[in-house]
Amino acid sequence: MEILEYYSLPQPDKDRWLGKLRESDWAAGQLLFWLLCSGAFRLLCGKTARVYLLTEGDDLVSFCTLAEQDDVRDTDLGPWIGFVYTFPAYRGHRYVGLLLDHAFQTAANQGAERVYISTGETGLYEKYGWRFDRLLPDMNGEPSRVYVKDV
């Protein structure tokens, strides 16, 4: 397994991994694909936002982002891990934990005191050491579960 950062890749590799990302069956994965293709991802999520890809050979196993902003807006919270997804063939092996740890460690190395995740999931992030913090409205006004992990 290898973790790649999308923006650090040469263009041919970006294009190849974008093709794999497009195969995601998750609406938010399709949104991330569109945001990357259109150049809008860093406009929406912050100029230093990163996209992490967990790969195995030519396969995209899982992906997530680390950004100043996520779908919970207008708060002083951050940074945020978002767009967390594992392809069905790789689920059940806790591979996403590798990405969560990598993104968390990156944020910690950059001086973050805590890191946040906004999600509709219950029970997933707790097993990786995250704790439920509060409900906040997402960009659509829907309640989102905000998890936090202290550095």
Q: What is the pLDDT of residue 148?
A: 96
Give me the number of domains the chain comprises: 1
In a domain, 117, yes or no: no
In a domain, 144, yes or no: no
In a domain, 118, yes or no: no
In a domain, 149, yes or no: no
Q: What is the pLDDT of residue 122?
A: 86
Element (H, E) at 133: strand 131-137
Mean pLDDT of the chain: 93
Residues 6+ apart with CB under 8 A from 76: none
Q: Which domain holds residue 96?
A: 2-112
Question: In the Cβ-directed half-sphere of 34, how many Cα atoms lie within 13 Å?
Answer: 7
Q: What is the pLDDT of residue 76?
A: 86
In a domain, 87, yes or no: yes
In a domain, 43, yes or no: yes
In a domain, 130, yes or no: no
Q: What number is the average pLDDT over the span 126-146? A: 92
Q: What is the CATH number for 62?
A: 3.40.630.30
Q: CA 38, CA 107: separation in Å to the nearest integer?
A: 26
Residues 60-113: pLDDT tens digits?
999 999 999 998 876 789 999 999 999 999 998 989 999 999 999 999 999 999
Q: What is the pLDDT of residue 73?
A: 79
In a domain, 131, yes or no: no
